[in-house]
Chain A
């Protein structure tokens, strides 16, 4: 059968963020899948070096819109380790509480997106309606629906009072009821089971080989969870299970995420019951002593890694961020091997990708001399036109028509 390559992205209606995928097809079957990062690089790591630590808390929070608390906590943990700050227990509990609320909103969001990708839009509508409950709670606790800004170096910025505790436990009760309903839907609804079972299979040995993290790894039976392996925050004092599943496919990933929601509710009620009294912050110096630290955090999508190197000034020397999608994107090629093209949207969505968080700088080297080359915007523009022309795609007629129309 004739083989052909279909480019998907960087601008494509099926993708929510710009990313380029090249799919080699033989009929409907995917022979090869390759992803190319670098379309939404924002230079956050470099920008961190030019800002003070306190500004960087807010900058790293904006790495991701959905797991914003995960990134800022991860950064703050690294800085606190270098500065040798012991943060109050109450602050640790509040951080963990917001982290778990964030996991709930992220997993409910994913459930809706997954429903949408398989054409089950009813699930999208209901899951997102219920997500509003947790968004409202986050707004009440922290002062914003996204980018909560609760972390600061040496603790948290806002305390919680008894009224808020009551609000949270009421909301969690409601959410628990709803999630139990979705678990029943996932286990009984035949269209969902048939559509997701056997799609995007990733065997445990491939998880270990490719280094997948988060629900993607746990759905293949690998018990990999930073909250359990290397407890931070208040997780060491909480009683919870690491949810795993042995379906190894997208259906397993759905069950893992739903199970994690129920575990999160359990953790939140433990936090609300046992939250210790005391201060919420310790005084942090503006200048952080020289040193380096690696910090790990279990974001909703998997393990987040931040590396911070300080040099004794009020600005870090180097900040390195590894978002979970970078670890998981490699697995997509494996999952899609010899599968139908129609499975591509849900398989990509099943790792819960966040491309902007994971994007790297791609340095294009000349094949001739193997050196990097600087290009101005105009050169890049004409280079891209020539590149497409060489491949038989010419936009110049279209451009002229467009200009006429605009006149």
Chain B
């Protein structure tokens, strides 16, 4: 059977429903618990194998040696593609992903974040 305005009933009933969209900046959206967001680095656990640097598809990680068994990581969030491959490559679990996703910035420099090794330890060596 052919009839015009097949969807009209649905459209009219939508008038009395809540909007399907989320009022985003005011109404925060919660991401699922395994969402791959910003990566965090724990300098305590890093052994400096640099496998994460080798596996990162975007070249966003830079691990630097700053002292005896002390490493710091420099991340470029502008390059990161949030695949979280580094968290799986790291066998010491020094890299973890968080659910944080509101990372946009107008300044490129602000996208570069450094996770420093503990300063007091480095100073003593």
Contact = CB atoms under 8 A, between A and B. Distances in A.
B83 A122 contact: no
B7 A149 contact: no
11 contacts: A54-B89, A55-B56, A58-B83, A59-B57, A129-B20, A144-B35, A149-B83, A185-B6, A185-B7, A189-B5, A190-B3
A185 B5 CA distance: 9
B61 to A, nearest CB: 12
Given A52-B55, A129-B20, A149-B84, A189 B4 contact: yes
A188 B2 contact: yes
B7 A62 contact: no
A12 B34 CA distance: 39
Which label, helix, strand, loop or mixed, suits the secondary structure of the A interface?
helix
Interface of A: 51-52, 54-59, 62, 122-123, 126, 129, 132, 139-140, 143-144, 147, 149, 152, 157-158, 181, 184-185, 188-191, 193
Interface of B: 1-7, 10-11, 20, 31-32, 34-36, 54-57, 81-85, 88-89
A123 B83 contact: no
Contacts of B6: 184-185, 188-189
Contact of B84 (A51, A143, A193): A143
Contacts of A152: 88
Given A58-B83, A144-B35, A149-B84, 18 more contacts: A54-B85, A54-B89, A55-B56, A56-B57, A59-B57, A123-B7, A126-B7, A129-B20, A140-B32, A143-B35, A147-B81, A147-B83, A157-B88, A158-B34, A185-B7, A188-B1, A188-B2, A190-B3
Nearest to B2: A190
Contacts of A147: 81, 83
Contacts of B34: 140, 143, 158
B1 A126 contact: no
A158 B35 CA distance: 12
B119 to A, nearest CB: 33
Contacts of A193: 2
A236 to B, nearest CB: 29
Contacts of A52: 54-55
A168 to B, nearest CB: 13
A40 B111 CA distance: 27
Contacts of B20: 129, 132
Nearest to A128: B20
A149 B3 CA distance: 44
A55 B57 contact: yes
Contacts of B5: 189
Nearest to B56: A55
A188 B36 contact: no
Nearest to B21: A129
Contact of A190 (B4, B36, B55, B89): B4
A51 B81 CA distance: 15
A51 B57 contact: yes
Contacts of A158: 34
